[in-house]
Amino acid sequence: MKFKYIHLLLLAVFMLTAQQLLAQSANFDEFNADRMQMTRNGMLVLGSWAVGNMAVSGIAAGRTTGEDKYFHQMNVYWNIVNLGIAGAGYYGALGDAAGLSLVETLNEQHSIETILLLNAGLDVAYMAGGAWMIEKSKTASANAERWKGFGRSIVLQGAFLFVFDVSFYAVQANHRSDWFEENVAAMNVSPAGFYVSFNLD
């Protein structure tokens, strides 16, 4: 008789634990789905910028001369790359993120935030490089208009990408922060180990 009660107790504990794990998994799935949707939206913004630049500057490059012509040429060249990045990023965010564990979820989130911060650093370097090219044009004995036109374009493209990457990072970081506040009841790291408890109501 005692064995029967113990068996029922163990079964109840197992069912409760399974229910909690399923609830946590559902929370992760929603979080990951939202992250991927935000990534798709971000890639649409980047792709729209690229297409707009290619359309406008593609026409303007044939109607202008001097540094303006080179400015528009570089806009087209630069945004061919942007469009490729946007397409690849959008395609990569079409996958199914369901079933990721907590560790996998945090790794994915950390990865995209790190990439965006690194990109923002590169954007500053782009702007600095473009500014250097503009300064170079002032003393260049040849191709001064090309130096200046290309430099102006790179400063513009770098500035847009900086705003884009910083804004996209802020959106992703806010998404992570809101999710933690809503779902994580407690987190602790000690010599005995690491644990996370969740709000499941």
**pLDDT tens digit sequence for 82-100:** 999 999 999 999 987 777 8
Q: Which residues, in sequence order, are CB contacts of 165 under 8 Å at separation 6+? A: 116, 117, 119, 120, 123
**What predicted TM-score, i.e. pTM, was given to this entire model?**
0.79
DSSP codes joined into one string, 53-88: HHHHHHHHTTT--HHHHHHHHHHHHHHHHHHHHHHH
Cβ of 42: how many Cβ atoms within 10 Å? 22
3-class state of residue 11 by DSSP: helix
Pick the range with the lowest mean pLDDT from 100-104, 105-109, 128-132. 100-104
- Tokens representing 134? 């503009």
Please give the C-alpha separations between residue 135 and each of 114, 147, 162, in angstroms, as whole numbers: 32, 9, 21
pLDDT confidence of residue 198? 54
CA quadruple 33, 39, 44, 47: dihedral positive or negative?
Answer: negative
Distance CA 149, CA 74 (A): 8
| Averaged pLDDT, 106-133 | 95
pLDDT confidence of residue 19? 41
Contact 168, 87 (CB under 8 A): no
Distance CA 192, CA 189 (A): 8
pLDDT confidence of residue 26? 53
Is residue 152's pLDDT more than 80? Answer: yes
User: Which stretch of DSSP H or E encloses residue 177?
Assistant: helix 144-183
* Tokens 């990457």 -> residue: 165
| Averaged pLDDT, 124-146 | 95
Query: Which residues face 197 on adjacent strands?
Result: 186
Please write the tens of the pLDDT for every residue from 160-196. 999 999 999 999 999 888 877 776 654 554 555 555 5
How would residue 127 be classed by pLDDT, with cut points 50, 70 and 90? very high
* Tokens 């990408």 -> residue: 161
- Tokens representing 125? 């370097």
pLDDT confidence of residue 1? 52
Distance CA 133, CA 127 (A): 10
pLDDT confidence of residue 16? 39
How would residue 6 be classed by pLDDT, with cut points 50, 70 and 90? low
Distance CA 177, CA 192 (A): 26
Pick the range with the lowest mean pLDDT from 63-72, 73-82, 123-132, 174-183. 174-183
CA quadruple 39, 40, 43, 49: dihedral positive or negative?
Answer: negative
Please write the tens of the pLDDT for every residue from 11-61. 333 333 334 444 445 568 888 899 999 999 999 999 999 999 999 999 999
